[in-house]
């Protein structure tokens, strides 16, 4: 594997970071994961907006734009002989004194690597986790290096990739999956937990909400108890690598899974635009100039 480290494309075995990097010492770092389809980094602009917002919040001075990131991605695709890829884009705080800082980080490290896409999982089953979702360290949840809560949850679920764990908040409300956002369908209404529960503001989550509204679904974000999802017809989870994954079962409740009509409609639109869009905000324009109705 070839990766990008602070301006250079190098072999994996050459990669080095300092033990005094605060991303290592204190978890002061952020990352984005996204997919490349036929050379196109899907929704890259949305990922960069979230990344830049997080960097500002952590006082890590680094400005990244589409052109810069696209050049890195293209170089890595060429070096690794890939056209479809899983990409992880990391920005770490960089070296600092031992001790908790109060000033800005002026020299962050950028590490980017990619790999072949994992096998597609057509549908999953889910359980409610005993591990509760921790509260964000700040005002909202960052996509940061702090992943211990997720690791505890994954250990609870086990190795089976076809089983997803559903976090509940400390107050007992539905939150999100271990590395995914959560949705369910009742009739022609789509439900998802509010960001106020402390969940990640997922890029794919926002795109799916945009799709749903474009095809006439009513979307409700709010505080929901576990029994409410157990009244659903369909449910699915989302993230940028797995896309939209139907749930065939939650606890003992059997669902429509991959045969769910609403889930299939959302998947159809998602697939149609994943080789062209840079941001969810482009969707309405694309639909307006495309077919009048999405089947």
Question: What mean pLDDT comes out for the span 81-85?
Answer: 96
Average per-residue pLDDT for the chain: 95
Residue 295 has pLDDT above 60, yes or no: no
Residue 289 has pLDDT above 70, yes or no: no
Residue 290: what pLDDT?
Answer: 54
Question: What mean pLDDT comes out for the span 196-200?
Answer: 97
pLDDT category of residue 102 using cuts at 50, 70 and 90: confident
In the chain, how long is the greatest CA-to-CA distance?
A: 59
In the chain, pLDDT over 70 holds for what percent of residues? 97
Residue 134 has pLDDT above 80, yes or no: yes
Coil, strand or helix: which one is 242?
Answer: coil
Token representation of residue 36: 């490349």
b/e 214-228 (16+ beta carbons within 10 angstroms → b): ebebeeeeeebeeee
Token representation of residue 156: 């609870």
Domain limits, the chain? 2-115, 124-289
Residue 123: what pLDDT?
Answer: 96
Residue 294 has pLDDT above 60, yes or no: no
Which among 6, 50, 31, 67 has a CA at the least distance from the CA of 146? 31
Please give the C-alpha separations between residue 192 and each of 177, 202, 212, 246, in angstroms, as whole numbers: 12, 12, 12, 14
Question: What mean pLDDT comes out for the span 154-181?
Answer: 97
pTM equals 0.94
Residue 19 has pLDDT above 70, yes or no: yes
CATH architecture observed for domain 124-289:
Alpha-Beta Barrel (3.20)
With beta carbons less than 8 A apart as the criterion, state whether 237 and 180 touch: yes
With beta carbons less than 8 A apart as the criterion, state whether 127 and 163 touch: yes
Which among 154, 157, 156, 176 has a CA at the least distance from the CA of 167? 176
pLDDT category of residue 288 using cuts at 50, 70 and 90: low
Residues with Cβ within 8 Å of 43's Cβ and at least 6 positions away in sequence, in order, are 34, 203, 204, 207, 240, 277, 278, 279, 280
Question: What mean pLDDT comes out for the span 31-59?
Answer: 97
Could you say which of 3.40.50.1580, 1.10.10.10, 3.30.470.10, 3.90.1150.10 is the CATH number of the domain covering 2-115?
3.30.470.10
Please give the C-alpha separations between residue 246 and each of 125, 137, 203, 256, in angstroms, as whole numbers: 8, 30, 18, 8
Residue 118: what pLDDT?
Answer: 85
Residue 291: what pLDDT?
Answer: 43
Question: What mean pLDDT comes out for the span 52-80?
Answer: 97
Residue 292 has pLDDT above 60, yes or no: no
Which has the higher per-residue pLDDT, 53 or 118? 53
Question: What mean pLDDT comes out for the span 58-70?
Answer: 97
Residues 90, 112: Cα–Cα separation, whole Å? 6
Which has the higher per-residue pLDDT, 168 or 118? 168
Provide the 10 A C-beta neighbour count for residue 251: 12
């Amino acid at each position: 594997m070839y990766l990008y480290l602070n301006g250079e494309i190098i072999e994996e075995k050459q990669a080095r970071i300092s033990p005094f990097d605060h991303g290592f010492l204190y978890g002061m770092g952020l990352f984005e994961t996204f997919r490349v389809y036929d050379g196109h980094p899907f929704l890259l602009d949305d990922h960069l907006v979230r990344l830049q917002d997080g960097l500002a919040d952590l006082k890590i001075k680094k400005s990244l734009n589409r052109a810069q990131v696209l050049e890195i991605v293209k170089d890595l695709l060429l070096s690794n002989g890939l056209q479809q890829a899983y990409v992880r884009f990391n920005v770490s705080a960089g070296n600092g004194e031992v001790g908790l800082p109060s000033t800005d980080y002026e020299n962050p490290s950028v590490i980017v690597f990619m790999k072949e896409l994992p096998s597609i999982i057509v549908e999953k089953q889910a359980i409610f986790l005993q591990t509760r979702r921790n509260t964000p360290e700040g005002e909202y949840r960052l996509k940061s290096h702090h992943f211990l809560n997720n690791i505890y949850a994954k250990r609870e679920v086990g190795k089976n990739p076809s089983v997803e764990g559903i976090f509940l908040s400390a107050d007992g409300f539905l939150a999100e999956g271990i590395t995914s956002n959560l949705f369910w369908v009742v009739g022609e209404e789509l439900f998802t937990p509010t960001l106020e529960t402390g969940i990640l503001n997922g890029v794919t989550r926002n795109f799916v909400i945009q799709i749903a509204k474009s095809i006439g679904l009513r979307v409700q974000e709010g505080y929901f108890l576990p029994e409410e999802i157990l009244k659903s017809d369909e449910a699915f989870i989302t993230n940028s690598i797995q896309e939209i994954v139907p749930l065939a079962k939650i606890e003992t409740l059997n669902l429509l899974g991959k045969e769910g009509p609403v889930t299939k409609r959302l998947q159809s639109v998602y697939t149609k635009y994943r080789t062209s869009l840079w941001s969810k905000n482009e969707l309405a324009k694309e639909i307006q100039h495309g077919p009048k109705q999405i089947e």
